[in-house]
Structures are given as structure tokens and as C-alpha cells.
Structure 1
Amino acid sequence: MRIITEIQPVRGGLFKNEPMPNIDSSFVYTNKRGKYRLITGKDYLTRSEMNAERYSMRYTVLEETYSYQYEDESSSKELGRTFKVRIQLKVKVKDPIAIVQNDIKDIRHYLDMKIDFWMRSITEEHSIEEIIQVKNKFRNIKEQTNISYDLKEVGFEIIELHGQVDLSESDEKYVKEKQKIRQQGELDRDRLEAKQKLDSMKNEKENEERDKLIDKILRSDSRTASILVAENKKEILVILEQIRQEELEDKRKKEEHQRNLEEKLASKIFTDDMDARERINVWQTVAGEAPQKELQNEQNVKLENPKTWNDTATRLGDTFDEDKRTKSAEGEQTDEGGKWA
């Protein structure tokens, strides 16, 4: 669909007149200074103006309405997934000078170059699962893209514009399967949450009943308490076992915490790039068990003497290790384990 149908060099003269354009076209004259002159309808360029402005080229622009259809795939946000796009467009020439300035000789060629860019400005923002949102945008494609503005800039006006978008059969099947998986996942999650809630309520109820029983026994006299224990022997044994397990777990956590502190302390104490001041700070703040007597004896050590500080850190480390071994030996003699009967 050619828009500029003819380009002719022109020159002025004493006896030469310029022709009038046809009813469905217009003339655009240009000179070497970049000036443009539009001639339409029954008008024509006079000989005096022609000689004064020294126009050198005349463009014949066909002023008709042009229809354009586009049907192709447009890429989505997902690699390898596309939308099927159909466009119906009708435009007319609005500004022949702008058409000449932008050298739009063929409207179809121009639209073929631009249409994919306009479509991708919508489709590449969405995955194919968002087909509903994309369809809504294509219903208002004139407002959702730069197509109207871009065409106006090069001399055209949109008369009609309709957009439609769909999925291929394989992509539609893919979307349905993905939605089914997601719905199943949501259902499984809801079931799990419901089960966890029921289990939590059950545990709360059991803990409440346990606390009530213990409280009742503690508040009773010895005879009543013996009766309650005898009547609830099975429950009492379960409670005692639970308490024993909780105590063992607390003990395990404390031992693990202490062990982590000691490992952390050891790694810091024997790090070569630590200065003496930082080593003693480690004993005081991280270990929390550095012998207070040794720390007190070192209060007056001169901070400016790195060797003295290093010696102090070493002595504190040795003392701490000795205290730890003593406590460990005492723990082995006094620690007694048992199980609730």
C-alpha cells in the first residue's frame, strides 16, 4: 500500500506552471533549506512562490484510508510460551508533510516493522496463565500501547482498531494442568493447616487436663492425693514421663549451648590475628566463667604492653581449662540419671 506514489525533481521558470493535485492526493514541495509546502485540493504552487523559495522536489502523497490485518504469535514473559494475536487496523492520512519527513513510502511496510513491538509491549509483561488480563488489555489496545501516538507522529490517524488474543491448543492445555496442580496444592495446604489446628487444640486440651489434675493433687490432703494418684495411675505415669523428657531436653540444650560457647571461645582465643586486649574481652564477655581472681589480679596491667596482655590471656585460658576439668570431674561424681517408674 504505497503512500508516496511519486517523487519528482522540479525547477522554476518564467513560463512554467505547477500542476494541481488529484482529488485523492496532495503535493508536498521541499527545498534545500528544509522548508516544506503542502498543496491540496484545487490549489497549486504559483510561479512566483516557486521561484522565490526555489523548491527542488515534489512528493505526491495518496490521501486514502488504509486497512491492515495482522495475525501472528507474540512472546510472553515465559521463555518458549507465546500468545496468538490478531489485529485489525484502519488508518487515514492526516499529515502529508509528516509522512514525507519520515519517508513513509509504504504503510504496510511501516506497520509490519512496528506492530510486533506494539504487541510485545503488552504480552511480554504477562505469563500465559494471565490470559484474562491480556485479553482485557487487548480490548483497550489503543490506550494500552503507543500505537496511536506513534502513527500520529508520522502523519496518520486511526479510524478503527480491534485486538484479540488467544492461546494455542497446547498452551491452553498447559495452563489448565498448571491451574489444576496449583488448586490441588492449595487444597493440600488447607487440609494440613486444618490438621495442625486440630492437633494444636488437642494438645492444648490434654495439657489443660494434665495441669488441672496436678493442681488438684497438690491442693489435696495426703489421703485424697493418694486416692487421686491411685485412680489416675496411668495418667500420672504419662505426665511424669513427659516431665522427665522435658527436663532431659532442657539439659541437652544447655549442654549443647555450653559446648558451642567453649568451641567459639577456643577458636577466638587461639586466633593469631587477635590482639591481647580482645582475647581478655572474649574471656570476660563470651565465656562468662573466667576466674574472677585472675581477672582482678590483672586489673593493673599496662594496656600499652602487648606482650603482658598476651601472657595474661594465656594464663586465663589455662586457668579456665583447669576449672572446666574440675567441674567435669565433680559432675561425674555427683550426676545421677534415672527414669520415672
Structure 2
Amino acid sequence: MTKLRSVVRGCGSYLPEKVLTNEELAGLVETSDEWIVQRTGIRQRHIAAEDEPTSALGIKAAEAALKAAGLTADDIDLVICATSTPDFTFPSTASVIQAGLGITQGAAFDVQAVCSGFVFALTTADKFLTSGSHKRALVIGAETFSRILDWTDRTTCVLFGDGAGAVVLEAQEAAGTNKDRGILTSHLRTDGRHRDKLFVDGGPGSTKTVGHLRMQGREVFKHAVSMVTDVIVDAFNATDTTAEQLNWFVPHQANKRIITSSADKLGIAPEKVVMTVEKHGNTSAASIPLALCVAVNDGRIKPGDLVMVEAMGGGFTWGSALIRW
């Protein structure tokens, strides 16, 4: 029995030109390269220019994804942007990206699940495509977290960076087995009781301000390692696959210690883990598509490979998706 699968046709990414190193940060707050690397694995991050809103980053990543897919704006009928740093309260950043790309058909909207945003957006697009309502989707993760950081708080400002990544998904008929190309399964979770552990202390409906990011680092670390396990195990169970069968594990790039601890707990070999946190920092919803593009462009991820993506973000939100590339 055949079924529709959401197949990845191409991916693209964009990083702002400005690079902020740990040494430069040490001139802004009381920290050091050694302290940051030891605790996070981060050595540098990219910072958007003043005239680069989130949509500008998303447009460039989307253009690169379309080029990699061999498609044009006219081929897309769904645009979903995962972001926690939108250009405006409204309209959606996705609609700004849609207009910037010259897409005039279909739907465009944002998804907000913080660092899990790309997995949530990918899953949402998959539901649209496999229902038969839409044919091709641009799924984008784009962030300018530098705009919501408290640059006097050394516990948070050293962690985050700006960037955007995108994939083009296309609905294709497949055999309905685990050998199919495309998204094989996805699993999402939210537990709003943990809001105070990772949040922004402002918003139009509360303080009427943008606010700054606040985080209880130890609490987030503890929950990140324990929480992501369930959605990954669920993905394995749903597809009758194992960690040994994975070709690549592409987690949210928050912290090197979280990534290695999670992979070790799940029995995923270190050589299968794609890690870009050293050069990108934590780019929230953009981190997974950025990492995917790095691994595709350097030849690691190849057609037919089994790829697991997972993330956890403020809320708490967390999720996984298992993809046959």
C-alpha cells in the first residue's frame, strides 16, 4: 500500500558576516575563552547586522534551499518559519519571507516552540504534505537571538548566535516502509510547567516590551538530557529501528555537554553525531537546519541515510523526527 512521504529535496543556510569570538566577549563581560569552551564547547557565534532582520536571514537560507532543490518560488505552496525572534508582532515572519521570495500562492505562517521550533515546523509541514493538501513546503528556522540577550549577563550572552537554515520538502508517493525516503515519524512534547526555567521576561501582552532571555542553566541542562530520550525512543519504536541503524544524529546545538551526554545515554556512537555548536553557538530554531546543511555540504549526509533530528526548547518543548534522506 503506497503512502505520501515528505521528502527532503534540498537544504540551505545563511550565517551573518559578523563573527563574535569568545575573546571579544571577554572584553564585554567577566568571562574567558577557556571558561566558555569548557562549559559549552562554543568558540564563536555569528551576529546579525543592524539592517538584517530575522526575515532577511530566512530569505537567504530559503533561496539557497530552493537552489539546492533545483526549484523556484513558483514551485512552493507552503512556507513555515520557526522563530522566537520575529520581525514584527505581526505579520508573521513567514509571510515576509514569502513576499521576499516572490511566492504568491499557498499559505505562510510562523511556528513558535523556541529551540524545538524547527522540529515542530517540520512536523507541521509533514502533516500538510502527507494529507495531500499541499505539494511542496519551505521549512525555515531563522533567529536573531542577539536582539533579546542581556549583554551584561555572562551566563546567557555567551551561548547564543544568529542564523537561518531551511529545507524544501516535497510530497512523494512511496511504498509505505521504513526504506522510504522522507520523514518516517515525528514526536512532539510540551510541558508548560517549566516556563520559569527558560523564558523571555517581556512581551506585548504582558510588559509591552521585548524583554531579555532568562535561564536557569543547571535546571535546563538536567531536563535536556533526561527529556529528549522519550521522543527519540518513541521514534525508534514507531519505525522498528535502533540507534545502531542510524547514520547520523543531528541534535539541537545548545551545548556540547548536553549533546554528548544525550548521545551516550541513547547509545549513539560519537562518530554519528553532527556537531556545529563550536562555530555557531546556540541559534535556537535555526540550529538543526544549519547543522543539516553543514553535514550535507561536506558530504557526510547522503541520499538514503537515516537521520535523527531532535531538540528541546523553552516551554519546555521537545521533539524528534526520523528522516530517510
Specify the TM-score bucket, using the shorter chain as the normaliser. Answer: under 0.3
TM-score normalized with structure 1 length? 0.18
**Which has the larger share of strand?**
2
Rg larger for: 1
**Which has the larger share of helix?**
1
Higher relative contact order (CA 8 A, sep 6+): 2
